[in-house]
With several copies, the nearest count.
Chain A
């Protein structure tokens, strides 16, 4: 295996996603890796973080000792509210999501298919207990859905595939995938590689991907 490249860290990826977010956007960051993105949003840009449990204008974690059990995010972590933020109930919160008012949602995923299908809620093994939370609403409701995940599984298997092998969360809803190896756009023409880790060849990336990739230059 080629070792001329170093995969991006979660912080690297978070920084890339953050850089793609424009001022004035309403953004929901999924539980797990995507939470990191908040750390890289520039202070001079007004970007609004939505949390499906009823927050708009979610701020960073509170200082030690300032935690408030009534002020948590969708991952049930302590957070704060920025000046100009507000609270609302779950009905209104999911009206925002389902109604297409969230500009961007960044989700973690088990698998993404080349047509934009996403699987991120349930492994479907006998021992697993199904639990979906807001994943299906976000997948179907946000104007743009980005996925942030490792390029391959812990066993080294591709997570970007032709067809999902796991139970689906939402159909044809992912617009872009950020992995530790590449940034891939899901287009009508197929999976277009926008950017790759330095030192990684296109063929190597293709070998780690379960669906056909298209080089950006060729589109």
Chain B
């Protein structure tokens, strides 16, 4: 009997090695796998390359991961926010590398990674600073930039409910990057609010099939 449900967040994230690339779900705080990130800090991970839409808010979650010195580089679309002072300080001190990627290109590169494409031509960012030095091509009169897939060693995502095979559903706009990040990593760890029995998730409603999920961690009351 296959059971992907892990006992604790720490047990799950302890598989993450120093220097690995980690996709972290969430858009701001919605969908951010805060408890998995906390465990990653406890695990004392180092030299991570993080791929996430933002670079953390306030002093929790992703921001705390940065503050604790776990992160070498961050690939994101929108690092600077009104409460991203931890990132801002590290960046200005030259203590963290930053790669800014347009949000849709970030999504498309993750999807390319998850679906085995070698590269894609996207119209976004053509002629801008973010396409500098990149290969371009005009196809049917439209200008495109060549972008390469993002693949990761791990993905940490937050879902709403999951079962022991790793099938997941999400809650509202907390879905955001979860489903696509799950596809683009060798090992996906999902935190869920509820673990349900096999068959409780309607096969028509499952958003992330278990094939993309390796560990499920229930967060909250024991």
Contact B173 A87 (CB under 8 A): yes
Q: Which of chain B's residues have a CB closer than 8 A to the CB of A136?
A: 102, 104-105, 124-125, 128, 130
Contact A141 B123 (CB under 8 A): yes
Count A-B contacts at CB 8 Å. Answer: 199
Contact B77 A71 (CB under 8 A): no
Residue among B101, B102, B130, B204 making CB contact with A87, cutoff 8 Å: B204
Contact B31 A70 (CB under 8 A): yes
Q: Which of chain B's residues have a CB closer than 8 A to the CB of A129?
A: 79-80, 88, 91-92, 98
Contact B178 A95 (CB under 8 A): no
Residue among B80, B108, B176, B177 making CB contact with A131, cutoff 8 Å: B80
Contact A134 B104 (CB under 8 A): yes
- Whether a CB of chain A sits under 8 angstroms from the CB of B93 is no
Residue among B30, B171, B203 making CB contact with A53, cutoff 8 Å: B30
Contact B175 A88 (CB under 8 A): yes
Most buried by B among A84, A87, A90: A90
Contact B79 A83 (CB under 8 A): no
- Number of B interface residues in the complex (CB < 8 A): 70
**Complex Cα spacing A72 to B114, Å:** 26
Shortest C-beta distance, A98 to chain B (Å), equals 3
**Complex Cα spacing A200 to B66, Å:** 52
Shortest C-beta distance, B55 to chain A (Å), equals 9
A72 and B30 in contact (CB under 8 A), knowing A89-B179, A90-B176, A133-B103?
yes
- Whether a CB of chain B sits under 8 angstroms from the CB of A24 is yes
Q: Which of B73-87 contact A (CB under 8 A)?
A: 77-81
Q: Which of chain A's residues have a CB closer than 8 A to the CB of B98?
A: 129-130
**Complex Cα spacing A114 to B17, Å:** 38
- Whether a CB of chain A sits under 8 angstroms from the CB of B94 is no
Closest B residue to A75 using CB positions: B28
Q: Which of chain A's residues have a CB closer than 8 A to the CB of B80?
A: 128-131
Residue among B53, B128, B173, B198 making CB contact with A167, cutoff 8 Å: B128
- Number of A interface residues in the complex (CB < 8 A): 60
Contact A132 B102 (CB under 8 A): yes
Shortest C-beta distance, A188 to chain B (Å), equals 16
- Whether a CB of chain A sits under 8 angstroms from the CB of B1 is yes
**Complex Cα spacing A78 to B130, Å:** 30
Contact with B along A30-67 (1 / 0, CB 8 A): 00000000000000101010111111110000000000
Contact A98 B116 (CB under 8 A): yes
**Complex Cα spacing A185 to B7, Å:** 39
Closest A residue to B179 using CB positions: A89
Shortest C-beta distance, B88 to chain A (Å), equals 6
- Whether a CB of chain A sits under 8 angstroms from the CB of B207 is yes
Closest A residue to B76 using CB positions: A131
Q: Which of chain B's residues have a CB closer than 8 A to the CB of A97?
A: 104, 116
Residue among A71, A93, A132, A171 making CB contact with B107, cutoff 8 Å: A93
Q: Which of A148-205 contact B (CB under 8 A)?
A: 167-171
**Complex Cα spacing A98 to B113, Å:** 10
Q: Which of chain A's residues have a CB closer than 8 A to the CB of B184?
A: 99
Q: Which of B165-190 contact A (CB under 8 A)?
A: 165, 167, 170-180, 183-184
Contact with A along B31-54 (1 / 0, CB 8 A): 100000000000000000000010
Q: A87-B203, A140-B124 given. 12 additional CB < 8 A pairs?
A: A24-B2, A26-B211, A51-B173, A54-B173, A86-B167, A97-B116, A130-B100, A134-B77, A137-B105, A140-B125, A167-B129, A168-B129
Shortest Cβ-Cβ A-B pairs, 4 listed? A94-B104, A137-B104, A98-B116, A95-B115
